[in-house]
Amino acid sequence: MKVRVGIVGCGVVGTGVVELLLKNSQTIRKKTGIELILSKVADRDWQRPRSFHVPEGLRTHDYREVLEHSDIVVELVGGKEFAKRLMHEALDRGKHLVTANKHLLAEEGQDIFLKAQEKGLCVGFEASVGGGIPIIKALWESLVGNRINAIYGILNGTTNYILTRMLEGGITFEGALKEAQERGYAEADPTLDVDGWDSAHKIAILSYIAFGGFFPFSQVYAEGIRHVNLLDVELGRELGYTLKLLAIAKRREEELEIRVHPTFLPEEDPLAKVSDVFNAITVEGDFVGKTMFYGRGAGAHPTASAVVSDIVDIAKYMVSGLPCRRSINWEEKSYKLSQNFYSRYYLRFDVPDRPGVLANIARVLADHHISIASVLQKEKVCKIAGREKEHIVPLVILTHKAYEENMRHALQEIKSLPVVASEPVLIRVEEEAE
């Protein structure tokens, strides 16, 4: 069977998809019996050099030509407004969709999925999370028999590169970001990556599938790595922890916790060993237990591989004549996300090196039902403006598991103690221990 595929947006990923379809269509036909025909490719600018030559006959400036000549429309433009309009128009014209647009799907995907469902059309979005890692297909197919209790992982290569360089190279956040930009791993405007939004989009999409239901994206907690201080990365290492930007989705009874933040992991945790631009995702299911997925989370070729896997899946549905079942079921359940997280904490206070300081802080923590697991005090002197005459040192406290609300109240109180010389640092710690 022949299936016509058209692409709108021929940038990094679009060019990768053109290359894969033109180079490997015979391989795909041999494996599946499906002949994928690249019909049209739309982009605004055909003068720009690309990593692969797109034949003249395929090029157009007009996305409507893609809609006209395709059974499956691949949206690789990115951004929200035009992409959303394009997807609605494609569905209205009875076209199946493939997209890598996590930003749009996470924040405003509901209408698109509902329309696709109504019309019996497919929306493939494997490439929206984890680049080449087949995590969405795994959740839908391989792990379908499980009640998923947790998904967590490193979903953003840019921030993982920056944290790896801070840890291994001993350089500051600003230095590591500059290096990432020079190597093409970070955009000129790195906000979505560095402030945690890209990871938040991805963990929201995984959660929609894994927990079967809807929640407003605005309730997802996102904290990035912009404020991460090299001192904490190094003190964490002394305590046996590695700092990662972790995206976490957990089910607690009927409540969901979905959050992205810098997180200390025990250095022996497999996720702690995932370095540079690599991504890794752990899924915990009630029957399968823990499974981990690892690979390149971005780049033209890995992402194109994921896009083409969706194209082939949709083509198989078309051959089978069955209605497409692969869509997020938003109506199943509506979740309210909990903001009162339950976790361990690393706290750093800059305090004068004198007796009684620790006791003061410990008393406030105890008042808020937070118990201390261990304490580390360094002799290294911190320079704090206005307190140059004092011998100020970093005091690190690791707590047992506690509720976030209690922690917020405790920190508010501790901040007002005269001994605390600067804003306390809080980093959550994920480990099995209580």
Q: Does 66 bind ligand NAP (CB under 6 A)?
A: no
Q: Does 205 bind ligand NAP (CB under 6 A)?
A: no
Q: Does 42 bind ligand NAP (CB under 6 A)?
A: yes
Interface characters, 269-308, with ligand NAP (x: CB under 6 A):
-----------------------------xx---x-----
Nearest of 284, 299, 278, 281 to residue 205 by alpha carbon: 281
Q: Does 76 bind ligand NAP (CB under 6 A)?
A: yes
Cα separation values, 292 from 96, 210, 216, 271, 281, Å? 30, 15, 27, 9, 6
Q: Does 9 bind ligand NAP (CB under 6 A)?
A: yes
Candidate segments 40-48, 182-190, 249-257, 401-409, binder of ligand NAP by CB under 6 A: 40-48
DSSP per-residue codes, 36-53:
EEEEEEE-S-SSS--SSP
Residue of 95, 202, 244, 250 with catalytic role: 202
**Of all residues in this chain, which one has the CB nearest to ligand NAP in the complex?**
11
Beta-carbon count within 10 A of 122 CB: 23
Interface characters, 129-168, with ligand NAP (x: CB under 6 A):
--x-------------------------------------
**Please, which of residues 105-134 interact with ligand NAP by CB under 6 A?**
127, 131
Q: Does 78 bind ligand NAP (CB under 6 A)?
A: yes
Interacting residue with ligand NAP among 70, 101, 199, 338 (CB under 6 A): 101
Phi/psi of residue 116, nearest 5 degrees = -60, -45
Candidate segments 23-31, 41-49, 261-269, 409-417, binder of ligand NAP by CB under 6 A: 41-49
Nearest of 261, 244, 234, 262 to residue 396 by alpha carbon: 234
Q: Which residues contact 318 (CB under 8 A, 6 or more apart)?
A: 1, 3, 71, 96
Q: Helices 110-119 & 81-92, crossing angle to 10 degrees? A: 10
Q: How many residues does the chain have?
A: 434
Catalytic annotation present for 102: no
Interacting residue with ligand NAP among 3, 7, 8, 419 (CB under 6 A): 8
Cα separation values, 382 from 171, 174, 351, 379, 421, Å? 18, 20, 9, 9, 10
**Please, which of residues 44-63 interact with ligand NAP by CB under 6 A?**
44-45, 63
Candidate segments 11-19, 316-324, 339-347, 382-390, binder of ligand NAP by CB under 6 A: 11-19
Residue 205 or 246 having the CB closest to ligand NAP: 205
Phi/psi of residue 252, nearest 5 degrees = -120, 105
Cα separation values, 49 from 7, 52, 303, Å? 18, 9, 20
d(CA 134, CA 374): 40
Interacting residue with ligand NAP among 3, 5, 7, 12 (CB under 6 A): 12
Q: Which residues are tagged catalytic?
A: 202
Query: Which spans of this chain sit near ligand NAP (rule: CB under 6 A)?
Result: 8-14, 42-45, 63, 76-78, 82, 100-102, 127, 131, 298-299, 303
